[in-house]
């Protein structure tokens, strides 16, 4: 047992060892944070991840099951058994998989372990889009126009609600996410079919058929607010970021702070997000997602976990969000004096995926060679190296390239150079797409909407909008 671990034990904290119930770059990120705080980090892996390691050998992460996620990273019993076998005292879920599963959070607590995340009650409220909207309305957070109630079965009543909001509207699944379970309706004649199709999709994909309807915003940006909370009623916001560069509702590039947002408006929205956290008894890190159009914010959902794009906030706010998660789970009191919503400089993040740069079809395979850039203001979060085999079973994200500079223009140039210096051989990646994005005049000017990238891709393909 090393000296830092011994020092941590003397603090009287409820846990000194953390099982990381995830994989890939986020597992590496959490492991590093645990070590920095003097905590023992315990890694687990599926058979596919153990076999795909660049340097397979004895030891390494504990096996938790076959390659399929349902039999490994989503297998609650296997993860809890791994925690018991290894003597883990806490479980960090990372993002995806079980990170926003209220039942898993409860199972962890029942097993006498600490869940590094919010309480199950908060996950449950914010995981239901209707309940989340009601909670945000109660806290004074601005929401997209539309009732905070599920749609009735009577289609005439649904049509009346849509007409009261004003077309176009969007029909959404209450338990949806990831761009699924939603349909835009531009005319009353289409509302019945849209409701029927979305309700069945919601039932199959999410296990619950409840729907709701909101105003559809034509050209919004996607802007997020990061919050930190402890177990003692303290909550703060620590900056915002723009995630508008998307393809099929999936983020591709993120930046912080979101350009063109008036500081006084950001302060008002951030304060309301913090107040909402206090009202629902939130703990740990969380993200409020908004659509932003014509100078107004409209809440869409809250992610009750660490975000993929958290590094851009870390770079500009001067905070280690994983450290803060772990401290919150330990019961530490949040030092609110450290966080005033102020940021320094500008940061971008490119999500590098193993996929065909034209068709965007996943491209698993063995990486033969890798070269990532380095230097001032450059960060790479990754789990891959030469010899690593990208699995077809999981998300295609293999690395995140992050840059930070004093101004947005300097950060743009820094990312352009960093992308040109990045080499990943043996598989296809979306690096060419990122190079095109960072050469796009509209993106370079800032403030593009969520439809911009797909419009550009259609233009490049010679397809009329």
Per residue in 269-324, pLDDT tens?
999 999 999 999 999 999 999 999 999 999 999 999 999 999 999 999 999 999 99
Q: Is the pLDDT of residue 414 over 80?
A: yes
**Residue among 305, 379, 389, 456 flagged as catalytic:** 305
Local confidence band at 5 (pLDDT 50, 70, 90 cut-offs): very low
Three-state DSSP class for 390? strand
Q: Average pLDDT for residues 266-271, to the nearest whole number?
A: 96
Distance CA(418)–CA(410), nearest Å, equals 12
The verdict on whether 221 is a catalytic residue reads no
Pull the structure tokens for residue 111: 């097993």
Report strand pairing: 40-45 vs 62-63.
parallel
Burial class (CB in 10 A: 0-12, 13-18, 19+), 262: exposed
Grade residue 394 by pLDDT with cuts at 50, 70 and 90: very high
Average pLDDT over residues 336-364: 92
| Residue 374 pLDDT grade (very low, low, confident, very high; cuts 50, 70, 90) | very high
User: Whole-model pTM?
Assistant: 0.92
Phi, psi of 246 (to 5 degrees): -135, 155
pLDDT of residue 4: 39
pLDDT at 59: 65
- Angle at the Cα of 273 (from 243 to 166), degrees rounded to 5? 70
Q: Which two tokens stand for residue 74?
A: 């989503």
Higher pLDDT, 342 or 189: 189
The reported pLDDT for the residue numbered 461 is 87
Q: Is the CB of residue 402 less than 8 Å from the CB of residue 462?
A: no
């Amino acid at each position: 047992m090393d000296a830092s671990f011994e020092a941590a034990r003397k603090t009287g904290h409820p846990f000194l060892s953390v099982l990381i119930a995830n994989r890939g770059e986020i597992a590496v990120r959490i492991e590093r944070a645990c070590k920095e705080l003097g905590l023992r980090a315990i890694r687990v892996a599926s058979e596919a991840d153990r076999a795909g390691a660049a340097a397979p050998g004895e030891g390494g992460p504990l096996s938790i099951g076959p390659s399929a996620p349902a039999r490994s990273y989503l297998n609650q019993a296997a993860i809890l058994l791994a925690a018991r076998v290894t003597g883990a005292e806490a479980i960090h879920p990372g993002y995806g998989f079980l990170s926003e599963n209220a039942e898993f959070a409860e199972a962890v607590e029942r097993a006498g372990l600490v869940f590094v995340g919010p309480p199950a009650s908060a996950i449950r409220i914010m995981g239901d889009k209707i309940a989340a909207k009601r909670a945000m309305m109660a806290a004074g957070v601005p929401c997209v126009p539309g009732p905070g109630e599920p749609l009735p079965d009577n289609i005439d009543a649904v049509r009346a609600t849509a007409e009261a909001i004003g077309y176009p509207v969007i029909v959404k699944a209450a338990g949806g996410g990831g761009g699924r379970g939603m349909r835009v309706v531009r005319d009353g004649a289409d509302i019945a079919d849209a409701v029927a199709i979305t309700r069945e999709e919601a039932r199959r994909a999410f296990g619950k058929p409840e729907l709701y309807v909101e105003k559809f915003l034509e050209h919004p940006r996607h802007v997020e607010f990061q919050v930190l909370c402890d177990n003692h009623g303290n909550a703060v916001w620590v900056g915002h970021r723009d995630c508008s560069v998307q393809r099929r509702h999936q983020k591709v590039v993120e930046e912080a702070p979101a350009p063109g947002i008036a500081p006084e408006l950001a302060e008002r929205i951030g304060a309301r997000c913090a107040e909402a956290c206090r009202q629902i008894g939130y703990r740990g890190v969380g993200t409020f997602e908004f659509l932003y159009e014509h100078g107004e914010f409209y809440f869409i959902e809250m992610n009750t976990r660490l975000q993929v794009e958290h590094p851009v906030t870390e770079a500009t706010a001067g905070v280690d969000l994983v450290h803060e998660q772990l401290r919150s789970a330990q019961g530490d009191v949040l030092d609110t004096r450290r966080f005033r919503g102020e940021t320094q400089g500008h940061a971008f993040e490119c999500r590098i995926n193993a996929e065909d740069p034209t068709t965007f079809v996943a491209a698993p395979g063995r990486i033969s060679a890798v070269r990532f850039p380095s230097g001032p203001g450059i960060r790479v979060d990754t789990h891959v190296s030469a010899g690593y085999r990208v699995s077809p079973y999981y998300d295609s994200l293999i690395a995140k390239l992050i840059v930070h500079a004093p101004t947005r223009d300097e950060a743009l140039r820094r990312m352009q150079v960093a992308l040109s210096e990045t080499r990943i051989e043996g598989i296809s990646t979306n690096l060419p797409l990122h190079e095109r994005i960072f050469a796009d005049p509209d993106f370079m000017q800032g403030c593009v909407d969520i439809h911009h990238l797909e419009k550009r891709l259609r233009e490049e393909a010679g397809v009329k909008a």
